[in-house]
Chain A
Amino acid sequence: MIEIKNLSKTFKTADGTVEALNNINLTIGDGEIYGIIGMSGAGKSTLVRCINMLERPTAGQVIIDGKDMASLSSKKLREERRSITMIFQQFNLLMQRNCLKNICFPMELSGMKKSEAKKRAMELLEIVGLPDKALAYPAQLSGGQQQRVAIARALATDPKVLLCDEATSALDPNTTHSILQLIKDINKKMGITVVVITHQMSVVEEICSSVAILDGGKVVEEGKVAEIFANPKSDAAKKLVYPGGEEETVKGNIGERVIRIVFNGSDNTETPLIARMAANEGIMANILAATTKTLGTHAFGTMFVGVPENQFEKAFSYLQSCEGISVEEVEDLG
C-alpha cells in the first residue's frame, strides 16, 4: 500500500518559490491500477517522482508498505527502488546497449549473476512480446517496442510497484492501446500495483480503477474512475471529461428545461431510456449532449436532455424512478 500524507513540494527558482505540490493525501491499495491525471504543469510528474524520492518532498510523507521513504538511508532507498520501478514517456533506454543488456541492467546493478540475469531477461522479452529483438539496439525499434523493452526492464527486479510517467504520451493510439493492455495484463498476472500518470482521460478510462485529479498542485477530486467519469464535480475534472467545455454543449432550446442524467454504471441503459420515456410516458426529450461510455458491462457518463416545460415535472419524476441513474435540473445555461 502506498500512503501519501500531507505531501508538499516547493521549488526555488530565480523568480521566487513555486509550489508544485500542495498538501497531497492519497492512498493507493495493493494491486490497484491508480491513475493520476492532470493538465501540463499540474504537478503529476513531481508527485510520481516523490513516490520513489527522485524528488525529495518539502513536507509530508510517502509510506510504502509501512516504510517512510524519506527516512531511508541512501543505501536502503536504492534497495527499495528496485521494488518500485518506473517507465517513462521517452522510454529512457540505454542507447548504446542492446535490448537484452538493457533488461539486464537493473539486475546488473543489484549484483545478480550474469547468466541468471540473461535468462530472466529472455523470459521478460517473451512476456512483452519481443523475443526476437534481444540483440537489436533501441534506435532500431519503434516507440511501442522501446516501451515494451522499458517495461521488461522495469519488471526485471520483481517490483511490487510500477510507476508509469506519461508512458503512452509519445505513442500513437493503437500502440497506446496495446501498451495499456500489456500493463493491465502484468497487473493482473503479477499483482503489481501500478500508478499511471497521464494527461489523457482515455488512458485512465481504459485501465485505471481509481483516479486522482491534480490541478495546480492539489488533488481536486479522487475516487473510483466510474464515479468521477459519470459525475465530475471539480472544474479540472469537468475539463478532462468534457474537453470541449460543458456549457458549450448543453444550451437548451427556447421553451425547454434541461435535465442532466448521470449513468452510474447501470444495466438500465441496455433498454433505451429516452425511447422508453417517449413510448411509455409520451415525453419528447431532446438529447442536447451526451458523453456516455460503456466500461465493462456497465454504462457511465452524462447526458443532457431538453424537455418541454409543460412536461418537465412528469419527466423528472419518471427519470428519478429509474434505477442506476441520477438526475438533476441544470439551470442558467443562458
Chain B
Amino acid sequence: MGEKIFSQEAIEFALNVAKTEIPLAIWETFYVTVLSTALAVVLGLPLGVLLVVGDKNGILPLPKWFMSLLNVVINLLRSIPFLILMIMVFPLSRLIVGTTVGTNALIVPLVIAAFPFIARLVEGSLREVNPNIIEAAQSMGATPFQIICKVMIPESVPSLISNLTIAITTILGYGAMSGIIGGGGLGKIAINYGYYRYKYLTMVVAVILLVIMVQIFQSIGTRIATKSDRRLKK
C-alpha cells in the first residue's frame, strides 16, 4: 500500500492539487474558522456571563425558570452531533446565506454548534474569578454591569484566551468535517480526494496542513494567554 501512496502518479497528483487548490482551501479554512469563532463569541460570551451572574448566588440573580431554560437549551444544542446538526440547519443556512453548500453556508452550523460550547467555556472562566474581588467591587459601590465589564471579564482574560484557543481549534476541526456535506476548505480536499477518489497522499497533505493550522492557533493562543496574565511575576 505504501508503494501505492507514494507512487510517482500520486505524488504528481498531490503536487498539482497543492498548487491549484490548496492555497484557496487554506484561506477558506482560516476564514471560516475565524469568522465562525468571532460570531460564536458574540453570542456565547453574553450567554456565558448570564450563566454566571444569573445564578442564584450570582451578582444579578435571574428567575429560576429562565436559568433552567437557558441551561437546557445550551445542553440540547451541545448534545447534537455536529454532522447531524449541519444537516438539521440546512433550512436556516438557506434562509441566511441563500445556499447550503460552500464556505459561507458552513458558517451557520458552525456558529450554532460553537456558541453554546463557548458559553460554557466563558462560564468556566468567569467562575474562576475570586469571589472576594467581586465582593470588594460591590463594597465600593459597583453596579452589576460594572462588575461584569470591569472586574469579571478583565480579571479572567488569560483564562478566556486559553479557552478561546480551545474553541478555535475545535471549530477548525468541525469545519473540516463539513467537507462531507459540501463545505469548503481543507476538509473538502481531504474528503473529496481521500474518501471519494482514493487519493490518499492528497488527503494526508490536507490533514497535515490542518494539523499545522491547529498548532499555530494553539501556540499563538497560549502565548497571548501567558503574556496577558499579570498574576505571573515577571
Chain A residues with a Cβ under 8 A of chain B: 52, 54, 77-82, 85-86, 88, 90, 92-98, 105-106, 108-110, 137-140, 153, 157, 163
Contacts and interface: CB of A to CB of B under 8 A. Distances in A.
B157 A96 contact: yes
A137 B229 CA distance: 10
A95 B158 CA distance: 11
24 contacts: A52-B139, A54-B139, A77-B141, A78-B143, A82-B140, A82-B141, A85-B139, A86-B139, A88-B132, A92-B132, A94-B133, A94-B151, A95-B130, A95-B155, A95-B231, A97-B154, A98-B230, A106-B141, A109-B142, A109-B146, A110-B141, A137-B231, A139-B230, A139-B233
B69 interface: no
Interface in B180-217: none
B150 interface: yes
Contact of B154 (A54, A80, A94, A153): A94
Contacts of B140: 81-82, 85-86, 105-106, 109, 153, 157
Contacts of B139: 52, 54, 81, 85-86, 163
B135 interface: yes
Nearest to A153: B140
A88 B231 contact: no
Given A92-B133, A109-B146, A109-B150, A140 B233 contact: yes
Contacts of B229: 96
A153 B133 CA distance: 13
Nearest to B147: A109
Contacts of A79: 141
A137 B230 contact: yes
Interface in B152-173: 154-155, 157-158
Given A92-B133, A96-B157, A54 B138 contact: yes
B76 interface: no
B154 A96 contact: yes
Contacts of B157: 96
Interface string B40-65: 00000000000000000000000000
Nearest to B144: A74
Contact of B141 (A78, A93, A138, A140): A78
Contacts of B234: 140
B150 A108 contact: yes
B232 interface: yes
A35 B233 CA distance: 36
Contacts of A94: 133, 151, 154-155
B1 interface: no
Contacts of B84: none
A90 B234 CA distance: 21
Contacts of B155: 94-96
Contact of B132 (A90, A108, A139): A90
B161 to A, nearest CB: 12
Contacts of B232: 139
Contacts of A52: 139
A239 B68 CA distance: 50
Nearest to A52: B139
Contacts of A137: 230-231
Contacts of B233: 139-140
Contact of B136 (A80, A86, A140): A86
B62 to A, nearest CB: 16
B150 A105 contact: yes
Given A92-B132, A95-B155, A81 B150 contact: no
Nearest to A163: B139
Contacts of B137: 105, 109
B141 A92 contact: no
Nearest to B156: A96
A258 B191 CA distance: 97
A76 B135 CA distance: 18
Given A94-B151, A96-B155, A78 B142 contact: yes
Contacts of A108: 150
A139 B228 CA distance: 13
Considering residues B136, B138, B142, which has the most beta carbons from chain A within 10 angstroms of its beta carbon? B136
Contacts of A88: 132, 136
